[in-house]
Chains A and B, each alone.
Chain A
Amino acid sequence: MSFTPDETTAIWLSLRIAVVATLISLPPAVLAAHALARREFWGKSLFNALIHLPLVLPPVVTGYLLLLGFGRRGPFGEFFDACCGIVFSFRWTGAALAAGIMAFPLVVRAIRLSIEAVDPKLEAAASTLGASPVTVFATVTLPLALPGVLAGAILGFAKALGEFGATITFVSNIPGETRTIATAIYTNTQTPSGDAAAMRLTIVAVVIATGALLLSELCARSVSRKAMDL
């Protein structure tokens, strides 16, 4: 199986977008998951609903909202352009942002479940040993929740890789800049002679997604084996 240069570009771009989306969404996802799992605060239900919004909204709506907020004229778009020279609209960075936001609820969910599974009694024990809340989190909660964090990250990566609706709405489908595997497949299905190319990219998508799931399983298993002291 050989790829055209355009397809190779789309594959690498997809991987880059998905990796960046995962890395960017992971730290806020860990914080949000911890807040949801362990803290009580005013507006928690609303916060939870907001986080899950990308999961239930039509992706095109999320994409359109991103366009309004992070487009060239959008308040956040202008801010990031002015402060750090980051432009999202019609750039791969925008695709990464869209993919990260679409993956966010899944990542938060996986991490939240694994944090909830950590025995709060161990955290209480750590605090009596002199650990501040931040130290407790870093030395007890996070290491024990690590399998879930890894699983969440890989799930997020797979989701980011397959993101379509929000991406195409927000940053369009520009070859070499925002054309990912998903949008390239879509383009090929709209082209009379695109069947073979669509099939090649479909196989790539299946292979990467399967690999990601196997890897997540492997990570979770090795971590839990370590915890069980074999």
Chain B
Amino acid sequence: MSFDIGIRHRAGDFALDVSLSLKGPVSALFGPSGAGKTTLLNLLAGLARPREGRIVIDGEPWCDTAADIFVPPHRRRIGYVFQDARLFPHLSVRRNLNYGRWLARGRGKTVTLDEVTALLGLEPLLARRPGALSGGEQQRVAIGRALLTNPRLILMDEPLSALDAARRAEILPFIERLRDRFAIPIVYVSHAIDEVERIADEIVSLEGGRVTGVRRGLRAGK
């Protein structure tokens, strides 16, 4: 994966002005809350439009305000794991998992429902409703749901921050397995350094809407 990002964005009082490239395969956006990590992730997902700038992934422009190019989120083939799982409350876990898979049908299936349920331990949850799941279970379903759309890229916005330490320790191995097993690039947002150091190949530090540092080659020797 290669991401070339150069954007200036404004949301209320907050200004985001970044220019960076991400090489992956697992890139972390790291910084304190209010640094602009989630805003940047939403711009990558197409959930927000920058005031000006370009976002190019593997040579394909997703957004270029000068050329009036904007690819809407549903055409970007991303999997987005939100901080608050955002499962559909009116659908069972199985239907939540199948939601994106059904929309992505015909896209050369590489990931199957069985594989994902096995990887994330979702088998016992399939018939249940999201409202009846614990926070950690919901987040595992959300990861599975994103994975099943066969995304070219997975975006994760503090997927562990709403969980307690025990749940966090329970989910992190799943994310590592996902990284190692499916080789899908991940952009991972977090304010917890131990988390990002454990899973990321490169860490981009953000503060006050600006890039303050980039560290690469973190897992090269592992």
Which residue numbers of A lie inside 8 Å of B, CB to CB? Answer: 121-122, 124-133, 135, 139-140, 143-144, 226-229
Contacts and interface: CB of A to CB of B under 8 A. Distances in A.
Contacts of A128: 45, 47, 73-74, 76, 78-80, 146, 155
B173 interface: no
Interface stretch (B96-104, B174-182, B212-220): B96-104
B97 to A, nearest CB: 10
Interface in B128-158: 128-129, 131-132, 145-146, 149, 155
Interface of B: 45-47, 72-74, 76-80, 82, 84, 86, 88-90, 99-100, 103-104, 128-129, 131-132, 145-146, 149, 155
B72 A127 contact: yes
B47 A127 contact: yes
A131 B77 CA distance: 10
Given A126-B99, A130-B104, A144 B90 contact: yes
The 5 A-B pairs of least Cβ separation, nearest first, read A129-B100, A229-B129, A130-B103, A128-B80, A125-B86
A229 B37 CA distance: 35
Given A127-B72, A128-B74, 14 more contacts: A125-B88, A128-B45, A128-B76, A128-B146, A129-B79, A129-B149, A130-B74, A130-B100, A130-B149, A132-B74, A144-B89, A144-B90, A226-B90, A229-B129
Nearest to A121: B86
A129 B146 contact: yes
Contact of B73 (A122, A127, A144, A227): A127
Contacts of A228: 131
Contact of A139 (B99, B128, B131): B99
A129 B89 contact: no
B3 to A, nearest CB: 17
Contact of B131 (A124, A132, A229): A229
A127 B79 CA distance: 10
Contacts of B131: 228-229
Contacts of B45: 128
A131 B103 contact: yes
B73 to A, nearest CB: 4
B149 A125 contact: no
Contacts of A139: 99
Given A121-B82, A229-B132, A127 B74 contact: yes
Contacts of A127: 46-47, 72-74
Nearest to B95: A139
Contacts of A144: 89-90
Contacts, number: 67
A121 B46 CA distance: 14
A227 B91 CA distance: 8
A140 B103 contact: no
Contacts of B129: 229
Contacts of A130: 74, 77, 100, 103-104, 149
Given A122-B88, A144-B89, A129 B72 contact: no
A133 B47 CA distance: 12
Nearest to B80: A128
A131 B90 contact: no
Contacts of A121: 82, 84, 86
B110 to A, nearest CB: 15
A118 to B, nearest CB: 10
Contacts of A129: 74, 79-80, 99-100, 103, 145-146, 149
Contacts of A226: 90
A228 B128 CA distance: 11
Contacts of B89: 122, 144, 227
Interface centre among B79, B90, B132, B155 (most CB of A within 10 A): B90
A133 B168 CA distance: 34
Nearest to A130: B103
A121 B157 CA distance: 13
Most B CB contacts (10 A, CB to CB) among A121, A126, A227 go to A126
B88 A140 contact: yes
A122 B99 CA distance: 13
Contact of A125 (B80, B90, B128): B80
Contact of B90 (A132, A133, A135, A143): A143
